[in-house]
Chains A and B, each alone.
Chain A
Amino acid sequence: ILNVEQSPQSLHVQEGDSTNFTCSFPSSNFYALHWYRWETAKSPEALFVMTLNGDEKKKGRISATLNTKEGYSYLYIKGSQPEDSATYLCASDLLMDSSYKLIFGSGTRLLVRP
């Protein structure tokens, strides 16, 4: 069974705090790692797709890193704002049964208090 796990499950921070979450995935059969941001009552929106070990990507105050050898990715939010409140999903593109499938974690729910 190939699982993608995220921690913590939920996180409450104060406006202005910086925070980070972890995504762990099987390092074998790996092709790519995706991060999505999912606001309540909306659909998930892609933040980053990373494939190479050591990849780092940044979009505004949000950045992500990738370690494919040990099977983890971190998502960082610098100076959290209330509008950052959302569920952050990671998903790993894994080779399973001769085809690549995007396997999702259960998400980290972030609440930023003003």
Chain B
Amino acid sequence: DTAVSQTPKYLVTQMGNDKSIKCEQNLGHDTMYWYKQDSKKFLKIMFSYNNKELIINETVPNRFSPKSPDKAHLNLHINSLELGDSAVYFCASSQSRQGRYNSPLHFGNGTRLTVT
């Protein structure tokens, strides 16, 4: 009965390929996020959607494209994968967008992407 689930858990692929990571939350939350854990272990925000509307789009290469078909899903598609894209990607959700109420994040278990 996972609250925030992302698939796959591991993804190994070659440079130049296109891949997707899926995320679903069953908490009824309005806001979903993608975070990237960088080489120094920091969690860096990439995107945030609130009720299917993009509200945060950090300086991320446009090879990364999020898609939110409904407020329970936020998928991440990556085109033309590069070596530097190797990282752990975390999906998360919160009751409401940041800056309103006190909404902690609920995280998925992460997807470890390895580009060879």
Contact = CB atoms under 8 A, between A and B. Distances in A.
Interface in B3-19: 4
B24 to A, nearest CB: 14
Given A34-B105, A43-B108, A43-B110, A89 B98 contact: no
- SS class of chain A's interface: helix, strand, loop or mixed? strand
Contacts of A103: 45
B56 A106 contact: no
B113 to A, nearest CB: 16
Interface band, chain A: 20 to 34
A49 B103 contact: yes
A101 B102 contact: no
20 contacts: A31-B99, A32-B98, A36-B105, A45-B107, A93-B98, A99-B55, A99-B98, A100-B99, A101-B48, A101-B98, A102-B45, A102-B98, A102-B105, A104-B35, A104-B42, A104-B44, A105-B42, A106-B40, A106-B41, A106-B42
